[in-house]
Amino acid sequence: MPWIVKPSGTQQIERRTEPYLTEALRAELEADALTRYPTKQAATLPALHAVQHTYGYIPYQAIEEIAAFLDLTAAEVYDTATFYEEFFLEPKGKYLVQICQSIACELCGCFDLKGWLTDKLQITNGETTDDGKITLQMVECLGMCDDAPAVLINGKMYRKVTADQMDKVLAELPDDPARFPAPGTAAAAQA
């Protein structure tokens, strides 16, 4: 795999006046994570989760704010955020389509499915459609190996997925994700 070189030295970081790590988030972390762990550094993951849960992703400015809050360098927080595929450093689409690429799903055609989706939506791994509706992410085992290939859409599991089935599911995705009956959504609570 070729190295991907990013111009970090000249990269422009979008900033806003209001901090992402708000007083409320700081208070929450101070009361919970910081009392649970022996070092501030150990609260890096809870802080990243808190920011992503609030904004849907982790802006670069928030990485600097978390670093200052935990007495770390921004590079240390960035390293952690980029190590886990669950964290997003860019806004993601309304729907996160996660295709398992581990061995059972690979043997059962997950990369054919990915290819089909890429052709249909013109996005590849980590990208979002121009309309902001769908982000594609290839992930590791979803724990559904006996029903491979498995796909997770906003927390809802689909098993033995075919391109035809995926086509139908995508066509039926409501514009408002709150109406999508995935676990933890308003629609699931009403179902």
98 binds ligand FES (CB under 6 A): no
What's the CA gap between 83 and 77, in Å, rounded? 10
Contacting ligand FES (CB under 6 A), which of 47, 148, 151, 153? 148
Pick the piece of the chain touching ligand FES (CB under 6 A) from 43-51, 64-72, 90-98, 138-146: 138-146
Cα separation values, 15 from 20, 37, 64, Å:
10, 30, 11
161 binds ligand FES (CB under 6 A): no
Contacting ligand FES (CB under 6 A), which of 66, 81, 142, 166? 142
Pick the piece of the chain touching ligand FES (CB under 6 A) from 49-57, 80-88, 140-148, 170-178: 140-148
Q: Where are the beta strands (DSSP E) in 20-177?
A: 95-100, 134-139, 151-153, 156-158
| Residue tagged 């927390």 (tokens) | 155
Pick the piece of the chain touching ligand FES (CB under 6 A) from 22-30, 96-104, 116-124, 167-175: 96-104
Per DSSP, 65 falls in state H
Which C-beta is closer to ligand FES: that of 157 or that of 187? 157
Is residue 156 within 8 A of residue 177, CB to CB? The reply is no
